[in-house]
A and B are shown apart, each in its own frame.
Chain A
Amino acid sequence: MKISQLNDLYRQLIIDHAQHPHHHGQLPQADQSVNLNNPTCGDVIDLQVVFKDQQIKEIAFSGDGCSISQASASMMCDLVNGQTISQAKQEIAVFLEMLMNNPDEPSDILGDAAVLAAVVKFPARIKCATLAWKALEQAITQEEQHAGN
């Protein structure tokens, strides 16, 4: 494989997010916390979310993983911070669809995370890219169940 193809995966934007992740840390006042791992490779994410009025008020992640999983988490937090739950749910659906089924899925609502479409060409890395998004999906489910009770 040519180096140029590797460059498609490791765009500067991805490297920047991985090296200097946004929303990295802990939220002691979080309403929902989710710990997910990728059992094949050991990547771990701790995602914490503060919800208010159907909105993601604050979000942060910590954990350990490769540059793809770290960049993906950072981009996702940038995107959903301050959004409504329903917006976030739609974006999660679009992101997962883009990576798992259809790389041509219109991804303009995904912000920086749209560049992660390149991961589709590296099937071994798809789970790295989706980890944070699955964690957010779970945090929202927990919050909705909590609110429903």
Chain B
Amino acid sequence: MVKDIATARNDFPLLKTQMNQESLTYLDNAATTQKPQAVIERLVDYYQTENVNVQRGVYALAQATTAKYEQVRQQVADFLHAQADEIIFTRGTTTSLNWVAQSFAPTVIQPGDEILITIMEHHSNLVPWQIVAKKLGAHLRYVELNDQAELDLAQLQANLNQRTKIVALTQVSNVLGTINPIKQITAWAHQVGAYVVVDGAQAAGHMPVDVQALDCDFYAFSGHKVYGPTGIGVLYGKAALLQQMPPVEYGGEMINRVTRQSTDFKAAPAKFEAGTMPIAQVIGLGAALDYLTSLGWSQIEAQEQHLVQLAGSQLQAIPGITLYGPPLSKPHAPVLSFNLTGVHPHDLATVLDSQGVAVRAGHHCAQPLMAALQVSATARASFAFYNNDQDVQRLITAVKLAKEFFQA
């Protein structure tokens, strides 16, 4: 049975807390999402009745917990339309992207080759490529924005050539809310033989993701941004590429046989999961994906689109507000970055904070993008399906209060 989204807010205990003696309006969902009671209870349950190490115990409890851990791998595979052996558990998006850069990239890049990324990347999909480009003697190239805060696709195409070995880009910008046409870009990149690495941190949890339809080679996301625990993330890689990619860490459980001088590794995904994994977090991630399934994408997307349209149009109507991102008539993820003329975003965020409205102010781990936008920082409101019209109203009222307060 599909759960009604209008009551979903009640499933998130944190949303009932107060901030600065005001009820909380949580609009920092791009940083991390809140957890439904079902996820919290699943973690408690795990520690109370299932806590053993996985993949190694011969007793019944260990077998049962191992089976649940592997079931979540299957669940993640279903969530992304992949195969279970293409799903690696990691610490988060950052780790997933670093592993591709550090371990896969050297298997395909020669000195003089090119890595193509975009100016809207989060530092976690930018710095690893800078480092690996330097190390391997490759060139790091950027695709810029067009005048609608979307990727300049003509420029992207013009930058693809036989030397391009990797195209790494985000599906959704954590600053602009731009949604990139991954499927189209993958098709172009594959024509020149480049591999496509997708940062799905801001997409997974907000829209259905089908890695087969996208045809990307790697896809990364974080548990904590899809209503699950921190400390758990996912790296999807096409099976053949994961076989080609060496392990990043070495230790227990990732080996077949170890002798004094040599070691034979297990196949992927096991060869990437050295040591004791965050088992509770994997189990909790499973509960989060169950929760999302109980709501269904159509309700989630409809509510988030409603919120971004409502908030975006009302913000735009306030004199002095600049929105950074595609026009609201274009595809727009539920992320709104904005500035108020004459008021630094920190000062704006402090006034919002005083009214119980949590937004982020700063560079959002995207300093090259800030430089390209010619701003030092922005305020950012980001929505989840559990936000409601009242949250939008409180945001707008608080922004107007800040405007009045600073006489901007």
List residues of chain A with CB under 8 Å of any chain B CB: 1, 3, 5-6, 9-10, 15, 40-44, 64-68, 122, 124-125, 128
Contact = CB atoms under 8 A, between A and B. Distances in A.
Interface in B359-408: 361-363, 367, 370, 376-377, 401, 405-406
Contacts of B347: 10, 66-68
Interface stretch (B223-231, B247-255, B348-356): B348-356
B362 A41 contact: yes
Contact of A125 (B350, B356, B362, B405): B350
Contact of A124 (B22, B350, B355, B406): B350
Nearest to A9: B350
A66 B354 contact: no
A124 B258 CA distance: 51
Interface residues of B, number: 23
Contacts of B345: 66
A67 B370 CA distance: 19
20 contacts: A1-B20, A3-B405, A5-B354, A6-B351, A9-B350, A10-B405, A15-B406, A40-B362, A41-B346, A41-B362, A41-B363, A41-B377, A42-B363, A42-B367, A64-B376, A66-B345, A66-B346, A67-B344, A67-B347, A124-B353
B172 to A, nearest CB: 22
A125 B354 contact: no
The 3 A-B residue pairs with the shortest CB-CB distance in the complex, in nearest-first order: A66-B346, A66-B344, A1-B20
Interface of B: 20-22, 344-347, 350-351, 353-356, 361-363, 367, 370, 376-377, 401, 405-406
B272 to A, nearest CB: 30
B278 to A, nearest CB: 26
A132 to B, nearest CB: 15
Contacts of A3: 354, 401, 405
A67 B136 CA distance: 44
Contacts of A43: 346, 376-377
A10 B406 CA distance: 9
A43 B345 CA distance: 11
Given A3-B401, A44-B376, A66-B347, 17 more contacts: A1-B355, A5-B354, A6-B405, A10-B347, A10-B405, A40-B362, A41-B361, A42-B370, A64-B376, A65-B344, A66-B345, A67-B347, A68-B346, A68-B347, A124-B350, A125-B350, A128-B346
Contacts of B21: 1
B362 A122 contact: no
Contacts of A64: 376
Contacts of B22: 1
A42 B350 contact: no
Nearest to B401: A3
Contacts of B370: 42
B269 to A, nearest CB: 34
